[in-house]
Amino acid sequence: MILAPLRGVTIRCFRSVFGPLMREAGFTEAMTPFITANAGVDPLRDRELKGGAECGLRVTPQFIGKDPSALRTCLERVKAAGYATADLNCGCPFPMVRNKGRGSGLLRTPDVLRRMLETGCEVMGPGAFSAKTRLGVERPDELLGLMSVFNEFPLRFLTVHARTARQMYEGSCDMAAFREVASAAKVPVVYNGDAGLGGIDGFDVMVGRGFIRAIGERDDAEVWLARYVDASLGELRSPHPVLGRMKELVAYWRDLPRWARRWNVVKLARNLDELRSGLGLV
């Protein structure tokens, strides 16, 4: 299993604290939440890439953008720093991202997508660059029509979230459309969607929300949360961003019986004492 890039959640500090649970669950790799591919910014200054394999697993930087030259600059820097693999985000479903031609917006510009994939494979080398995408923007058959583009390149793998961008994270995954894509692919395909820790028969899986939920179901969840609060405070040096970080994580548990009432307290917490009290850490 590969840990999915959940923006604001599966960040470096999370991976550092919850690394033992990731290894226990069977993860072999973690993908960073996307980093903007900007030629004028050194990605190694990004908090995501400080500390390397902090979770004891392979860490793969994921980049988002639409400028091949900017992507090249970023990849050359992370490769020189020792990262052996990298990934292209061509699946982010948020309208403000895709309407700028990034994330799932790349599915609407095949020529740009081709140049981004070409750059990634050229810089990182055959079998060291991957891509994460959706079944399409509006329709679940769009990706199938683009497989000729993906099949041109020696990708490490292609991760497919089995929903359209329009669906965001709602509705059911389209397994029939996913399997059509997998059949047409000339590279390994990794499943992403509603996979739990049990995975999907016949495919490697990328899991994000399923793992986050499993943490909330653990009997010792509070112990791990306390560690995460302390580690986040040590990193961020201010309680306000720690509040936001914890609320973003615990929001994934708000429908679990054990956490539903706590969530109503946590979402209104104004300081760390109220947060810790709401989470049952004191």
Q: Give CA–CA dist 61/48, Å, rounded.
A: 8
**Domain co-membership, 149 together with 256:** no
pLDDT of 109 reads 97
pLDDT of 53 reads 59
**Domain co-membership, 6 together with 43:** yes
Chosen domain end from 167, 187, 215: 215
**Domain co-membership, 136 together with 222:** no
Burial class for 257, CB neighbours closer than 10 Å (0-12, 13-18, 19+): exposed
pLDDT of 49 reads 81
pLDDT of 47 reads 76
Secondary structure letter of residue 88 according to DSSP: E
Residue found by looking up tokens 């990328």 in the block: 206
Chosen domain end from 215, 233, 252: 215
- For residue 189, the domain's CATH number is 3.20.20.70
**Domain co-membership, 109 together with 73:** yes
pLDDT of 51 reads 57
**Domain co-membership, 222 together with 243:** yes
pLDDT of 29 reads 95
**Domain co-membership, 149 together with 236:** no
Give the C-alpha distances (Å, rounded to integers) separating 130 from 150, 160, 204, 227, 235. Answer: 10, 11, 14, 33, 30
**Domain co-membership, 114 together with 246:** no
Per-residue pLDDT of the chain (282 residues; tens, 9 = 90+): 999 999 999 999 999 999 999 999 999 999 999 999 987 878 777 778 875 556 789 999 999 999 999 999 999 999 999 999 999 999 999 999 999 999 999 999 999 999 999 999 999 999 999 999 999 999 999 999 999 999 999 999 999 999 999 999 999 999 999 999 999 999 999 999 987 666 677 899 999 999 999 999 999 999 999 999 999 999 998 999 999 999 999 999 999 999 999 999 899 999 999 999 988 886
**Domain co-membership, 194 together with 211:** yes
Q: Give CA–CA dist 186/153, Å, rounded.
A: 9
Backbone φ, ψ for residue 159 (5° rounding): -90, 130
pLDDT of 198 reads 67
Domain boundaries, position 66: 2-215
DSSP 166-226: TTTT-S---HHHHHHHHHH-SS-EEEESS--TT-BTTBEEEESHHHHHHHHTSTTHHHHHH
**Domain co-membership, 144 together with 257:** no
Q: What tokens does 260 get?
A: 């539903």
**Domain co-membership, 129 together with 198:** yes
Chosen domain end from 184, 215, 246: 215
Domain count, the chain: 2
**Domain co-membership, 111 together with 197:** yes
**Domain co-membership, 175 together with 95:** yes
Instruction: Give the residue among 82, 80, 146, 81 at the shortest CA–CA distance from 112.
Output: 146
pTM higher than the cut 0.85: yes
Q: Residue 178 in contact with residue 162, Cβ under 8 Å?
A: yes
